[in-house]
Amino acid sequence: MADDQYAYNVARTSKDSRTTIITSNVWIMLGGIFGDARMDCPLNHFSQSSKPRTGMNKYRELLQQALQVAAAGDEELAVRKLDEGAHSAMQDKEGKWSALLFRNAGLLYEKKGDLELARDSYQMALACSKVDPYLLYALADVCRRLGDNASARHYFSSCFELASTANDHDLVKKLSEQGFGPR
């Protein structure tokens, strides 16, 4: 696989469970917020070597290092790396990378149980990229779990609109079952 491509994995999870996705010996925990819906997860393809590949994008390298650190058990350091990298990518006007780094930080905050920081990271990711319905779903779910039902409804509705436009039938079905589809 080329360095500038993503590996897309499909995870199936049951409500409120945790699913581990393994990509070349690197594990990240994803919140089980999608029920039986398909979730295409943008994850990087990691080499077996700890050395960066020649010509690797600096943000891709940072993401790889942060996820390896998280897999080794130091989630605090991983989140710091992701946050620093995301802010750096914002300064460099690399919105795609900012969104991806903030989103991964949000996933790690969720895994740690820090829903406020997960929400903040997802909101930062959303500010960088408004085209990911699964990011909206994650943000809506975190808001729901924090008891912010008005924000949760807003993000779920936005997620439904975006998923409908993208013809993501699984996500549209899931949102409709939860009462966020057409009435």
HSE value, Cβ hemisphere, 13 Å, CA-based, for 35: 12
With cut-offs at 50, 70 and 90, classify the pLDDT of residue 76: very high
What pLDDT does residue 181 have?
73
What pLDDT does residue 56 have?
64
Long-range contacts, 155-164 (Cβ 8 Å, 24+): 156/180, 159/133, 162/131, 162/132, 162/133, 162/136, 163/133
With cut-offs at 50, 70 and 90, classify the pLDDT of residue 98: very high
Cα 172 to Cα 19, 41, 66, 144: the distances in Å are 21, 17, 32, 18
Number of residues written out for the chain: 183
The average confidence (pLDDT) of the chain is 75
% of the chain exceeding 90 in pLDDT? 64
Distance of CA 88 to the CA centre of its chain: 18
With a cut of 60, say whether residue 52 has pLDDT above it.
no
What pLDDT does residue 33 have?
33
With a cut of 60, say whether residue 47 has pLDDT above it.
no
Which one, of 21, 16, 44, 18, lies nearest residue 100 by Cα? 44
**pTM check: above 0.85:** no
Residues 99-137: tens digit of each pLDDT: 999 999 999 999 999 999 999 999 999 999 888 999 999
Question: Hey, which residues does 67 pair with through a beta bridge?
Answer: none
Rounded to an integer, the average pLDDT of 152-163 is 94
- 52 token code pair: 């960066």
Cα 107 to Cα 58, 98, 152, 164, 176: the distances in Å are 21, 14, 17, 24, 24
Least confidently predicted of 17-31, 44-58, 140-154, 168-182: 17-31
What's phi and psi for 11, nearest 5 deg?
Answer: -115, 135
Residue for token digits 């930080």?
A: 105
- 94 token code pair: 């690399």
What pLDDT does residue 111 have?
94
Long-range contacts, 82-89 (Cβ 8 Å, 24+): 82/108, 83/121, 85/59, 86/124, 86/125, 88/59, 89/59
- 66 token code pair: 């942060």
Rg (CA), the chain: 16
Of 88 and 28, the one with more pLDDT: 88
Residues 18-43: tens digit of each pLDDT: 322 222 222 233 333 333 232 333 33
